[in-house]
């Protein structure tokens, strides 16, 4: 939950959203709590790399 479905999504986006990128199962099937946590960690690590690079210029946060 938390996502609004407007019906405006294209088929490609819808297909991407419907399949979990971690376990490759349909997102409306099974439990993807761990998958979302893995994804968040990946994003967090990626953002941290970016912020580390920026911190050289902008300082902490």
SS (H, E, C) 15-42: HHHHECCCCCCECCCCCCHHHHHHHHHH
Closest approach of Zn ion to the CB of residue 19, in Å: 9
In whole angstroms, give the CA distance from residue 13 to residue 30.
21
Task: Give the x/- contact pattern for Zn ion in 1-40, rule: CB under 5 A.
Answer: -------------------x-xx--------x--x-----
# residues contacting Zn ion (CB under 5 A): 5
Binding footprint of Zn ion on the chain (CB under 5 A):
20, 22-23, 32, 35
């Amino acid at each position: 939950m938390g996502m609004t479905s407007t019906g405006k999504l294209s088929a490609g986006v819808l297909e991407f959203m419907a399949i979990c990128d971690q376990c490759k199962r349909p997102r409306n099937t099974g439990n993807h709590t761990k998958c979302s946590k893995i994804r968040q960690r990946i994003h967090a690590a990626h953002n941290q790399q970016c912020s580390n690079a920026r911190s050289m210029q902008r300082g902490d946060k």
